[in-house]
Each structure stands twice: as C-alpha cells, then as structure tokens.
Amino acid sequence: MNATNEIEIDAAFMNFRQQRIDAFINESDIFFDTQREHIVALAAQHAVPAIYHLRRFVTAGGLMSYGTSIEDAQRLAGLYAGRILKGEKPSDLPVQQSVKVDLVINLKTAKALGLTFPLTLLGRADEVIE
C-alpha cells in the first residue's frame, strides 16, 4: 500500500482489513517516521502485527523493529564531523555506512496481539521491552 497523507494511511489500514492482511512491514520513509504514533495506533486498533525499521516505532507501542542503529549512524556522523573540523577535506574521507542493525521487540504489544516469540529470537534481540 502507498500513502502520502494521514487519510491514505487510514485507508490503507481499512484495505488491510478487507484483504485480510495478517501483518505488514513499514518501509523506511521520512513521512512514515513523522506519522509513527498514528501508524502504531492504527496497527493496534486493527490488531495487525507490524515490523518497523526504527526502534522509536517500538517504543511508541509497535510490535518489533529491525533496522539500522540510529545511534551508530549518529556516532559515525560525529566522527566524520570531528575529522572535518580537524582540517581533513571531506572529499578525502571514505564513504561510510552504518552496518549495525538492531532488533527490538515489544512484549506488551505481542501479548495484546496474542503473539509469542521463541526464546531463541528473544535471546538474539538487542532490546526487549516488557
């Protein structure tokens, strides 16, 4: 489903119900990031399990996230800024990308959805919210 405004997000969730969608993955998009509380609330209202790309969706009540660690990306940006401030030319610096990913699981949301996670998955999670 595509959505570019709140009305389209609401319509997407109605469409999920009509098509009997069992779960969804929320793509990485700045618009969706700004609508995270609305999306998480709709997922809970419609009892649709979802996996998100950022931890902040899970702390807002989402089920789980698996994606780039924002903290690690910010750390790399800080290192870059430090090197530039010390006089290195940005064009001389290598391109870097954060490769650390975080798995975050919200057990309270899982319980509300009637879901359980295997202990092996919980053990591999970077964070489990209870």
pLDDT in tens, 63-109: 999 998 888 889 999 999 999 999 999 999 998 888 899 999 999 99
CA of 72: how far to CAs of 75, 90, 110, 122, in Å? 5, 20, 27, 22
6-68+101-129 has which fold?
A: Rossmann fold (3.40.50)
pLDDT reported for residue 96 = 85
pLDDT reported for residue 47 = 92
* Structural domain spans, the chain: 6-68+101-129
pLDDT reported for residue 99 = 87
At residue 26 the predicted structure's pLDDT band, cuts being 50, 70 and 90, is confident
79, two tokens? 């290192």
- Predicted TM-score (pTM) of this structure: 0.82
Average pLDDT in the chain: 92
Q: Residue 111 region, left (φ>0) first, then alpha (ψ -120 to 50), else beta?
A: alpha
pLDDT reported for residue 69 = 87
Angle, CA of 40, 12 and 19, to the nearest 5°: 110
What average pLDDT does range 6-32 have in this prediction?
89
Hunting for tokens 């700004």 — which residue is that?
Answer: 34
